[in-house]
Structure 1
């Protein structure tokens, strides 16, 4: 993002409507120990349920800030309309946040208007590998925590692995990517890696969430052998467009 975005709030990157429309689908994150939904993640979709890619492919650098702000507003508005009983998780790109306290204002305003408490908002940090300013990312996480929000590192273990981020950052949650979860019940190498991640997270006082769970065997191993109790994936529920999908399956049911 150019310097103007970080020093001048009233620039063309920050103002005006988006040239396209979008909406959200929601996918639950369940706690298999208590058999309850703890969070719903908001996932970008087209207004007729089109894929996230169809929407994101229209987001240029010039639109990044406005899109990030619009996603937060849309997710909170829909969550309130649906009377979501859980926390709400919203993805954001660190490069879209030029100054945390300024960029959070629209989130605070819509939250107050619809009565959504800060402690029920989780911000998932995506595409961390594209962040070159580590101090800026740390400032975002620390500022959000001070405001009462929960933060999570998304897609942990994918691509650049993000392990080095834990030397500098203090997120509340690690969302372990499908790349490590896949076939974990029968893949010894993944089992070793997953147990190591859980051990590190535990010692750093960070919760773990397993993403992309697609079958009962994966779910059981993650819960019973790795000790990961927060799960997300098609095994529990597929994302539902502008709705809260039912969850009828748990690992020990």
Structure 2
């Protein structure tokens, strides 16, 4: 995800926008990509990825995000992800989760800004306890305490929390030392050609050990080959996401038939 840096504070603007959610000025929809439990081959979750109505990629959509529409964009993505997932029937598949990316700089008061999400969960009959909220390590977060407060509130609400793109961004282990999410998603830079790279294997093995000690579940992103899949499995990673498994799809849940078998 491209870096989004906006000035603080947003609180006064945010509270006003909580009451006055105006149109973004551009349309969005969601593509879905499964996160699969490799030992069984069944999806553990689907990640919702923002797209334009004509299929435009995330980078093109994010280029339209400004300080003035940041909050509305973040809220619209959450609601659209839940709406589309329910429309496609994910809410009727037991235990499978929905993963939603969020922008911490768009959250003013965690307990207040989650209201639209909870209302969407009720409106579209999607169990709130099956929602994952992931923040990318690649987004610069100036106020770590604020991010910690978001994760605490989301945990209190029963959501699963995740750090995305771990190993690619600004803070790495420093961010993990500050707070421990439920899930840690290894960036594709660490998984790429893992099968042929002893250095990457050593690094990932170390992260696996840290995650085990902290009680965190690992997900490997960007898995593109069977050899990468097998190398990750040999290191003890069971949850994987990437083109080898399934590409993101608009208006579809790839591999959904595996959930119903």
Taking structure 2 as the reference length, the TM-score comes to 0.90
Q: 2:123 pairs with 102, 113, 125, which one?
A: 113
Secondary structure of the residue that 2:190 maps to in structure 1? helix
1:81 aligns with 2:87: yes
User: Aligned residue for 1:169?
Assistant: 179
Gaps of 5+ in 2: 1-5
Gaps of 5+ in 1: none
Secondary structure of the residue that 2:158 maps to in structure 1? coil
Say whether the 8 Å CA contact 1:128–1:162 is kept in structure 2. no
Q: 2:51 pairs with 45, 48, 54, which one?
A: 45
| Partner Cα distance (2:172, 2:228) in 1 | 23
1:58-69 → structure 2 map (5 Å cutoff): 58-69=64-75
**Change over 3 Å in CA distance of 1:73–1:139 after alignment to 2:** same
The Cα offsets for residues 58-80 of structure 1, whole Å up to 9 and x where unpaired, read as 11111111000000000000000
1:241 aligns with 2:250: yes
User: Which has the larger displacement, 140-149 or 11-20?
Assistant: 11-20
| Partner Cα distance (2:139, 2:17) in 1 | 27
| Partner Cα distance (2:164, 2:125) in 1 | 26
How far is 1:15 from its partner? 3.3
The Cα offsets for residues 163-187 of structure 1, whole Å up to 9 and x where unpaired, read as 1111111210000000100000010
User: Aligned residue for 1:151?
Assistant: 161
Say whether the 8 Å CA contact 1:94–1:128 is kept in structure 2. no
User: Aligned residue for 2:3?
Assistant: none
Equivalent pairs, count: 248
Secondary structure of the residue that 2:162 maps to in structure 1? strand
Q: 1:212 pairs with 202, 213, 222, which one?
A: 222
Say whether the 8 Å CA contact 1:4–1:11 is kept in structure 2. no
User: Aligned residue for 1:227?
Assistant: 236
**Change over 3 Å in CA distance of 1:4–1:185 after alignment to 2:** closer
| Partner Cα distance (1:124, 1:43) in 2 | 12
The Cα offsets for residues 100-149 of structure 1, whole Å up to 9 and x where unpaired, read as 11110000001011111111100011255511111101000011000000
**Change over 3 Å in CA distance of 1:154–1:101 after alignment to 2:** same
Secondary structure of the residue that 2:11 maps to in structure 1? helix
How far is 1:246 from its partner? 2.5
Taking structure 1 as the reference length, the TM-score comes to 0.93
The Cα offsets for residues 22-48 of structure 1, whole Å up to 9 and x where unpaired, read as 111000000012221110000011102
| Partner Cα distance (2:73, 2:44) in 1 | 26
Q: 1:94 pairs with 87, 92, 104, which one?
A: 104
